[in-house]
Structures are given as C-alpha cells and as structure tokens.
Amino acid sequence: MNRVLVTGGSGFIGSNFLRYFLNKFKDISVINLDKLTYAGLRSNTVEHETNPRYEFVHGDICNAELVKSLMSRVDSVIHFAAETHVDRSIDSPDEFVRTNVLGTNTLLNAAKNAKLKRFIHFSTDEVYGSIKQGSFTETFPLDPSSPYSAAKAASDLLALAYHKTHGIPVIIMRCTNNYGPYHFPEKVIPLFITNLIEGKKVPLYAKGGNVRDWLYVEDTARAVSFVFEHGKIGEIYNVAGRCELSNIELTGMILKEFGKGEEMIQYVKDRLAHDFRYSLDMSKLEALGFEITSTIHDNLRKTIDWYRANEAWWRKLKADRYTLK
C-alpha cells in the first residue's frame, strides 16, 4: 500500500483534502503531520482516527529528526503546512519565515535520502504579486508584497532548487483564494458569515475595490488529487477558481444570502501594500484534463449552511483565539 505524508492536514485546506483523498484512494494510507497551531485543529480530522489507513502525528515540520523518521516511511509528500494570514504576517513575520521557509527546507532536506515518487508543494497565487489586466501563467516572475507571500515564494524556489540539485520529485501548485467548511474565522468569507450570524457588521478594506478569484475548497482537493495522479515532476501548476470578484461584490453576495444590505458594512483602514488583483491562468492544468464545474452561487450557500450548522466549532474559536480589531 502506498503511504503519503501530508503536512498541515488538520488545517482548513488540509482537512478538506484528507476527507476527499482518503475516500477517493482506497489503496493509499496517510500520515498527517500537524503542529496544531491556532488554525490547525485535531477535531477537524478526528473522524479519520478509526481508519486504519490514517495516522496522526502531532509535530513540527521544523523538527528535523521527526521529519526524517516520517519521511523514511512514505513514498510521497503533500505539503500544505504553512502560516497563511497576510495581516498576521505584517504584524509578526518571524513565524512565517520559520514555518514557510525553514519548515519547507527541513522537509526537502529530509527528502534527499528518501525514495519518493512525488513531493507536491502547495503554494499561493500571492507569490506573483498583483496584476491589473490579464492573468499570471506559471512562467511569470515572482513579486510578493507581504511577508507571507515572500515566505511562500522563498519556499517555492527552495523546492525547485532541491529538484534541480538533488532530483527530488517536486511539483508545485499555486492556488487562488479558497473558501468552504472548516475555514478559520479570521479569513474574509468565514469572518463575514459568522459576524452576520452574530448580528455584527462586516469589516471591509478600502471601499472593497480589490479583486480576488474564489475557489471552493472541495475543488482544490480535487485539483491536488488530480496532480497527485497526473502531474509531471518538476512542473508548476496554477489552480484558479474562474470566479473573480471585487471585495464589495463578494460582500454583496454574502449580505444578500442573509437578507441584509450595505448598512451591515463597516469600512476599515486598508492593509499595507494591499495587492489590487490576483488572477491565474489555469490552462496548463486544464490541458491535462482538469476542470472546475461548480459555481460560487451554490458553494457559497453550502458554506453559509455549514457555518450555521456548526456554530459550536467557530464560536469557540472566535471567543478563545480571535478578536476583531
């Protein structure tokens, strides 16, 4: 049986991926290595702990001895673990460099002596920076704007360098903004949804003109699984949602689902170096046969329904770990 090391599998994208991946591939077992930081919760993946094909390891990707021991037991790696929140990276960049750069380097260094079939490194569209018109292809130069995206860009380059120098079977995936169940309520969509459930206003940056492309997390799980099967070693693949919306448009969609209007918007001071627009060209991945067929209208409603049905999950997080400034 093939065995995969998944890092950060108890986080938002990682836990949704594991749910999809373990169901799809019955001949694969998974080791989930997660530090369980504020946004990684063991409860997100507790459903798998009776599955003989699943093993949870509480640990840090910067722990070289632990990583080395786990790497010797697997034949593939899917690396999600990262610090991801832009505002937090501006206020406290050190942990982003430690986890995203040093952690990735620790994994890659351990992979030198492992017999891996593939090492999928999950990254972000933010490494490209902002683009006013058109879309980024995988060959665009990197131009990150925040400590978060700079740390992710550095980890991308490390992965490519280890591939060239040591032959590690690296594949990089750069993904647009995700949304869906189990999303920590500091990010815009779950924050707005949970605020509205609580009867609070939603905080919107800079009059809401910035543009983002939105991808439902289950589609991301499908994309990673597809690349796991069909991706070519040494390549980079963009994953787009084909759903570009300004922040004010997105806010309007969420408010409409709650039967609310602009009176529920509280405009707040803009983020430093706030990228205006992200947009990815996904034709390279589509040429392999992958496609996005779902729409934000259905998926946003499903996401809202999930947060309504799981108030105990997010209310505790907002009360214990996150205070809106």
Q: What pLDDT, on the 0 to 100 scale, is given for residue 88?
A: 84
Whether the per-residue pLDDT at 321 is higher than 70: the answer is no
Q: What pLDDT, on the 0 to 100 scale, is given for residue 319?
A: 82
Question: Is 125 in the active site?
Answer: yes
Give the pLDDT band (50/70/90) at residue 1. Answer: confident
Whether the per-residue pLDDT at 89 is higher than 50: the answer is yes
Please, which residues have CB within 8 angstroms of residue 325's CB and are 6 or more apart in sequence? none
Is residue 66 within 8 A of residue 60, CB to CB? The reply is: yes
Whether the per-residue pLDDT at 323 is higher than 60: the answer is no
Determine which one of 60, 83, 126, 213 is catalytic.
Answer: 126
What tens digit of pLDDT does each residue of 104-134 get? 999 999 999 999 999 999 999 999 999 999 9
Q: What pLDDT, on the 0 to 100 scale, is given for residue 59?
A: 98
- Does the domain at 2-176+217-239 match CATH 3.40.50.720? Answer given as yes
What tens digit of pLDDT does each residue of 53-88 get? 999 999 999 999 999 999 999 999 999 999 987 878
The predicted model gives 305-324 an average pLDDT of 84
H-run or E-run covering 67: helix 64-71
Q: What pLDDT, on the 0 to 100 scale, is given for residue 90?
A: 87
3-state secondary structure of 35: coil
Determine which one of 148, 162, 182, 278 is catalytic.
Answer: 148
Residues in the chain: 325
C-alpha torsion angle, residues 315, 319, 322, 325 (rounded to 10): 110
What tens digit of pLDDT does each residue of 216-244 get? 999 999 999 999 999 999 999 999 999 99
> What is the CATH topology of the domain spanning 179-212+243-275+296-321?
UDP-galactose 4-epimerase; domain 1 (3.90.25)
d(CA 171, CA 208): 34
Determine which one of 34, 125, 186, 219 is catalytic.
Answer: 125
Whether the per-residue pLDDT at 324 is higher than 50: the answer is no
The predicted model gives 180-204 an average pLDDT of 96
pLDDT: which is higher, 75 or 322: 75
3-state secondary structure of 133: coil
Q: What pLDDT, on the 0 to 100 scale, is given for residue 180?
A: 98
> Percentage of the chain surpassing pLDDT 70?
98
Q: What pLDDT, on the 0 to 100 scale, is given for residue 300?
A: 97
Kindly report the average pLDDT of the chain as a whole number: 94
Of 301, 178, 191, 194, nearest to 240 by C-alpha is 178
Whether the per-residue pLDDT at 166 is higher than 80: the answer is yes
pTM: 0.95
45-49, 93-97, 169-173, 194-198: lowest mean pLDDT where? 93-97
Treating both helix axes as pointing N-terminal to C-terminal, what angle do 311-321 and 296-309 enclose, rounded to 10 degrees? Answer: 80
d(CA 17, CA 9): 8
Give the pLDDT band (50/70/90) at residue 275. Answer: confident
Query: What ranges do the domains of the chain cover?
Result: 2-176+217-239, 179-212+243-275+296-321
Please, which residues have CB within 8 angstroms of residue 141's CB and are 6 or more apart in sequence? none
Is residue 4 within 8 A of residue 28, CB to CB? The reply is: yes
2-176+217-239 and 179-212+243-275+296-321 agree in CATH topology: no
Of 238, 272, 247, 270, nearest to 145 by C-alpha is 272
Whether the per-residue pLDDT at 325 is higher than 60: the answer is no
Q: What pLDDT, on the 0 to 100 scale, is given for residue 147?
A: 92
Give the pLDDT band (50/70/90) at residue 173. Answer: very high
